[in-house]
Amino acid sequence: MKLNRTLLISRRPLLAATLALLATSSAYADYPSTVVNDGPLAYYRLSELPPQDVATNSGSGGTALNGIHSSDVQHWATGALVGNGNKAAGYNGASTGTTVPYSASVNPQGPFTVELWVKPNSIPNSAGTPCPISSAQFSGNRSGWQIRERDTGYQFVLYNHAGSGTAANVLGGGTPSTTSWTHLVGVYDGTTAYLYVNGALASSSSAPGFVANDNSGGAGPLTVGFRSSLDNAFDGAVDEAAVYTSVLSASQILAHYQNGTSASPGTPYNTLVLTANPIVYLRLDETGRDVDPAYNRGSLGSLGDGIHHVGVIHAVPGALAGSTNTAVTYQGIDQQSDDGGSPTTVDYNPALNPSGSFSVEAWLLPTIEGLGNAQCPMVNRFIDANGNRFGWDFFQRTSGEGWNFRMFNNGTGSSGTKAYDITGGSYTVGAWCHLVAVYNAPAHSATLYLNGVQVAQQTTPDGSYFPNTVSPLAIGSFPDITSGNGYENPFIGSIDEFALYSSALTATQVLNHYNNGLNASRSTPYETLVASDGAVEYLRMDEPTHNLATNSGTLGTAAVGIYSHTGDAVAGPRPPAYAGFSANNVARNFDGISSYVELSNPDGLNFYGQITVEAWIQPAASQNGEAYIIAHGGNNDFTAEDALRIENGTYQVLSYDGNGHDTGFSVPSADLGTAGWVHLAGTYDGGNWNLYRNGVLVSSNADFTGQLPVANANWAIGARGRWKTFMDTLDRQFKGGIDEPAIYNYALAPGNIQAHYFMGKYGTTNPPPNFLSQPVSRTEYAGGAVVFNAGAEGGSPLSYQWKRNGAPISGATDSTLGLINVQPGDAANYSVTVSNPVGTTNSAAATLTVLTPNAYGAIVMADQPVAYYPLNETSGTVARDLAGIYDGTYQSNPTLGTPGATAYTGSSVAFDGSSQYVLIGNPDGLNFTGLITMEAWIKPSASDGNRNILEHGYNLSPFQEVVLRIQDGNYQVNSWDGTDHIINVPMSAGDLNNWVHLVGTYDGVNWNLYRNGALIGSQAYDTGAILVNGGWGIGAGTHAGDQRFFPGNIDEVALYNHALSADRVQTHYLTGIYGLASLTVTRSGNTTVLNWPAGILQQADLVTGPYTDVAGAISPYTAPAGPAKKFYRLRF
């Protein structure tokens, strides 16, 4: 059959950005101004540069020897010093450390001492050498020293600059403790190395040839948490690290240890250390960038320091008249619920929980009326598993009732858990009030004061008061540590000047405090008055805003964000690749674990209907199953949620109210794990959810439900928004970079979204054409089909003109050029020119090479397969489709270029049966129903289990599969939609490890199975090929986790969207075995001679037959002479 050559011009634009722009020129200077012009409610540049996380050096070396904490150091771990609340630093045993730049002054050749406290989380195995501190050069000849943890003790190692040789290796102290702090000191006196553990000499050794760290390899800093080479990381906490350029005596070392373990040291520990003049002294007590500290000015000192949790708002006007001192504001995730606070907490300390007299004082400004859920402004309470309560709490009742103060009795009362329960003091919503509760233990009284006046008192307790013994002190809501519900009963409003006293304030003192607070011309500072009256805990609440993510949208400060564990800023989209941004533009990297940006739940971001959410993202290769880019909730009862996210490999924009309202688009593999940035935008326009990738609409879905308000969950960037319970829990975290997230309360038009992308990418809203993908050279068999694609974007309208060897092709004016039935004369260079009103660009030329198929290939091509994979490549990763456009990709490096099935088929590919196959994908042209032929030459090396030769799928939801395979010693062809439509025939003896031609067809009535050209099975079914939502594979399927790999060789795979007849199947087999048959006839005089390479000669008197075998005929054959006509043919 002769195929006519036809030119196809596709009308399906590929990646061409041709939407009309609303902005007709570059009216704005850059990407940020373009976004701001469109009026987002919230727009976060994420451009704030966090300060370096500095480990302050208190030693004589000064700030030049400050250290830098890596981004994942845990700050404010409980410290080593028993009598001091100084904090420590925690290290994770993987990547965390603190680095002090190399200095020769820290590394004397003579005597030195190194000192620190350690508390490991784990004990290493016998080969492990985690290092809590070192100053050494580990590259080449080692010099310097390190202290490392071993399974049998701690080891002080000194190097001698001879490879990895040591001058001393001092081990002692016994198995490290993981439950208590250990004091370690290493001393070198110029000849001998000593190791002291917990104040006592554990071991010593001479150290001949010791060489101080010389930084010869340029990698010899002083490090804490890992070695100087930034490896052998320590898992645990480190505190009070010091290096001295002198020898500490045994008595000094013991004094340091005894001081650190004393509950009441006569001299502060740090004073003792500084007296010995360390050159480096790292207290490791920094709050770090991610801890929002609440500093205690009371007598308890830093032991009473607290933490403001994410969501606390700083720097609001304070309560004190005439003072610039600020306060904090607390907010609830759900103001109508008893859950979801963002408090300030102070770790439990007995000094804050006296069993005797105490007083609690604060200034409060409630912004909502007291509700039935009872807001809790201050609490120091614990509830045990039996429901017994300890400690005290405050609740805000209605403004007419006032404030409720309760003290608890551990269930010892006659009528409940409350020893005292007093309420009084009406308040005004929106106004500051001064609130004080006093417990006078000797008088057995609890008294409540509001604005300096006693408003309630109880003098007969019900049972005895029992102080809290476990829970932290909390301000702004209370911690429900028994049920695990996070922080409950949030107070809505501001709090200032919180103080707790271990004495009963008198009525006069209370009144003096109140009057002082109102007096703008006070002679005694308010804080002096509080301190002089003996406050143990005094939180002024005046800390500055911490880790602020500025909102450049119209809501301004009403919708600011707070960075949480987002670490260092990273390079965002920048020129030249992203011309609309500044050269120093930064973004934030999200670790997929603990980092996000908290946006709270401002009223202005709670709305119905239309919405746009957009961001530039740089997603990591590996994501959580659900990875939220921008999200509102979902809430804890899953009744409301809004999100732009990646879910199981799909970009998605959605709202959820028990039913999903969304649209999605599969994430291109090129988007993941690369240095490029993707502009992603989702909208709801009143009738459709729409998703845009790089300015192009990639998915749309009609829906009546758009954006939903979420009353009881927050907005967030990089994670699911915090919901009303489990407030410290993160969920659905994104991993990778995010920049420029924005939220609008209307749907941006397609042109505006495209303008945003163009401005970011090209620095203009109307760029000239730019190629996203170039046409790719192709090699095809004659008779095959070719498609050249060119992806371009630019200002509209884009126009295309394809060219052949530089000459325009008539009618070829789209982004795709298709040729079918290509012939040698079509071999040429093809290119495309793309133009728009502001420019023109030319693609690279793609070369079309047209091959003449071999004998077997010619037969296959004549039957017009939709895809044909000869599998004759000898290198590379592409399995070429020589009939069309559906190239496959070799997976896991199967062996190419192995001997083929016959002399007429070319080489084959060997598959290992465990991981190797060809992935074809699921293009529309290979996803068809009804008639089908699947064909291959196979040489199986095993026949057990399922061994797929050619499979489409499979899927389980819904059930979908089309397959040609070996199953448990049987040849099988099947389509499966929950019901098998199957032919199953035992393999012939001897087929294993030998070549077999196998074909399965569905002809509209029957499924048929052929082996070596002969029909071996047939059965009627009403179902043929089915649509499958999954890829095609050669040598395996594509169902993750159950691909059913084929062991052995495969050759000449072809797929047809029609059924080959039995004769054509036989012809394919015979051609593979014998090649193209030829019968030549020569005549000399009256003699006729016939020659043929194979087959049985037949003759007939008529061309239409009947034909009969010529008995005994062997090539060459001399036909008998005679007057009658004879017709000859070959039978195989």
CA distance 87 to 860: 77
Q: Which are the contacts of 406, defined by CB distance < 8 A and separation ≥ 6? A: 392, 393, 394, 395, 418, 420, 421, 422
pLDDT band per the 50, 70, 90 thresholds, residue 335: low
Q: Is the pLDDT of residue 413 over 90?
A: no
CATH number assigned to the domain comprising residue 890 = 2.60.120.200
| Torsion sign (Cα): 516, 521, 522, 527 | positive
Query: Element (H or E) spanning 1065, and its range?
Result: helix 1062-1074
1108 token code pair: 């009969």
44 token code pair: 């976060």
Residue 30 lies in a domain: no
Q: Give the mean pLDDT of 260-279.
A: 96
pLDDT at residue 1080, rounded to an integer: 84
Helices (H), 890-992: none
**Angle at Cα 666 formed by Cα 8 and Cα 564, nearest 5°?**
150
CB 472 within 8 A of CB 381: no
pLDDT band per the 50, 70, 90 thresholds, residue 216: confident
pLDDT at residue 13, rounded to an integer: 32
996 token code pair: 């077999």
pLDDT band per the 50, 70, 90 thresholds, residue 6: very low
pLDDT at residue 72, rounded to an integer: 81
Residue 998 lies in a domain: yes
Q: Is the pLDDT of residue 21 over 60?
A: no
For residues 533 and 436, membership in a common domain is answered with yes
CA distance 544 to 312: 11
Q: Is the pLDDT of residue 144 over 50?
A: yes
pLDDT, one tens digit per residue, over 100-122 is: 999 999 999 999 999 999 999 99
Q: Is the pLDDT of residue 1062 over 90?
A: yes
CB atoms within 10 A of CB 1120: 7
- Provide the mean pLDDT of the chain: 92
The CB-based long-range contact list for 823-828 (8 Å cut-off, 24+ gap) reads 823/5, 823/782, 823/783, 823/850, 824/782, 824/850, 824/852, 826/5, 826/786, 826/850, 828/804
| Torsion sign (Cα): 342, 347, 348, 354 | negative
pLDDT at residue 532, rounded to an integer: 97
For residues 593 and 636, membership in a common domain is answered with yes
Q: Is the pLDDT of residue 15 over 60?
A: no
CB 586 within 8 A of CB 569: yes
For residues 531 and 655, membership in a common domain is answered with no
| Domain limits for position 909 | 855-1074
For residues 644 and 529, membership in a common domain is answered with no
* Alpha carbon of residue 1091 to chain centroid: 71
pLDDT at residue 725, rounded to an integer: 54
For residues 158 and 113, membership in a common domain is answered with yes
CA distance 860 to 1068: 7
For residues 188 and 59, membership in a common domain is answered with yes
For residues 931 and 817, membership in a common domain is answered with no
Q: Is the pLDDT of residue 16 over 90?
A: no
Q: Is the pLDDT of residue 17 over 60?
A: no
pLDDT band per the 50, 70, 90 thresholds, residue 484: low
pLDDT at residue 9, rounded to an integer: 31
For residues 914 and 944, membership in a common domain is answered with yes
Query: Element (H or E) spanning 828, and its range?
Result: strand 828-836
Q: Indicate the range of 136-140, 599-603, 922-926, 1083-1087 predicted with least confidence.
A: 1083-1087
Residue 8 lies in a domain: no
Q: Is the pLDDT of residue 1027 over 50?
A: yes
* Strands 846-851, 778-781: pairing kind: parallel
pLDDT at residue 339, rounded to an integer: 64
Q: Is the pLDDT of residue 1088 over 50?
A: yes
Residue 546 lies in a domain: no
Token match 């190239």: residue? 887
Residue 35 lies in a domain: no
pLDDT band per the 50, 70, 90 thresholds, residue 1078: confident
Q: Is the pLDDT of residue 204 over 90?
A: yes
Q: Is the pLDDT of residue 501 over 70?
A: yes
CA distance 38 to 171: 67
CB 229 within 8 A of CB 189: no
* Strands 735-744, 42-43: pairing kind: antiparallel
Asked which of 744, 762, 780 is the last residue of a domain, the reply is 762
| CB burial string 423-446: b at 16+ within 10 A, e below | ebbebeeeebbbbbbbbbeeeebb
Q: Is the pLDDT of residue 288 over 90?
A: no
CB atoms within 10 A of CB 600: 23
Helices (H), 454-506: none
For residues 915 and 999, membership in a common domain is answered with yes
CA distance 928 to 935: 16
580 token code pair: 């609309």
Total H helices, total E strands in the chain: 8, 83
pLDDT, one tens digit per residue, over 720-743 is: 988 765 445 578 999 999 999 999
Residue 850 lies in a domain: no
Q: Give the mean pLDDT of 768-778.
A: 95
Asked which of 707, 742, 762 is the last residue of a domain, the reply is 762
CA distance 783 to 280: 79
For residues 754 and 791, membership in a common domain is answered with no
pLDDT, one tens digit per residue, over 950-964 is: 999 999 989 999 999
pLDDT at residue 2, rounded to an integer: 29
**Structural domain count of the chain:** 6
Q: Indicate the range of 6-15, 179-188, 325-334, 459-468 predicted with least confidence.
A: 6-15
Question: What is the percent of the chain where pLDDT is above 70?
Answer: 95
pLDDT band per the 50, 70, 90 thresholds, residue 679: very high
Residue 1 lies in a domain: no
Q: Give the mean pLDDT of 659-685.
A: 96
pLDDT at residue 25, rounded to an integer: 39
* CA end-to-end span of the chain: 21
Q: Give the mean pLDDT of 56-61.
A: 97
pLDDT band per the 50, 70, 90 thresholds, residue 574: very high
CB 513 within 8 A of CB 436: yes
Residue 556 lies in a domain: no
For residues 736 and 640, membership in a common domain is answered with yes
What does the DSSP assignment read for 839-892?
A: EEEEPPPEEEEEEPP-HHHHHHHHT--SEEE-----SSSEE--SSSS--EEEES
Asked which of 730, 762, 794 is the last residue of a domain, the reply is 762
For residues 271 and 336, membership in a common domain is answered with no
Q: Identify which of 301, 302, 272 has the alpha carbon closest to the alpha carbon of residue 285.
A: 302
